[in-house]
Amino acid sequence: MENLVKFVQDEFVTRKEFPQFQAGDTITVYYEIREGEKTRTQFFRGTVIQRRGSGSSETFTIRKMSGTVGVERIFPINLPAIQKIEVNKHGKVRRARIFYFRGLTGKKARITEKRRG
């Protein structure tokens, strides 16, 4: 049964090509919002807290601070409304899921940038 589900997901679900990102990275997700007949593009910039699942059912969670309130949003990786994903910074973290990040405020909530090259 699992093989059948995997076959259908691989064959019929269209996958978009996005850059590689992981927990700790700061990314910007551009997605389309439909309001009645109109459509507009909105972006959500924040830190990736986790990537979960595999294949077509994979999701990722982004957290940003809006004023003093933390806002989290979960995106499916193959959501048709996602137009593009930009990686702004690669963060240096030691875990795949950084839920401890929710409890940090101020200077403690900074993630050091990973050096490339």
Please state the domain extents for the chain: 16-98
Q: Which residues contact 70 (CB under 8 A, 6 or more apart)?
A: 63, 64, 102
- Does residue 6 or residue 68 have the better pLDDT? 68
Q: Which residues contact 75 (CB under 8 A, 6 or more apart)?
A: 29, 31, 59, 60, 61, 62, 82
Q: Which two tokens stand for residue 10?
A: 């691989």
- Does residue 13 or residue 78 have the better pLDDT? 78
Per-residue pLDDT for 47 more than 90?
Answer: yes
DSSP 8-state code for residue 80: T
Per-residue pLDDT for 117 more than 80?
Answer: no
Q: For the segment 60-89, what is each residue's pLDDT rounded down to a tens digit? A: 999 999 988 999 999 999 888 999 999 999
| CATH code, 16-98 | 2.30.30.790
* Amino acid at the residue 104: L
Average pLDDT for the chain? 89
In 8-96, DSSP assigns E strands to 26-35, 38-52, 59-66, 69-76, 82-89
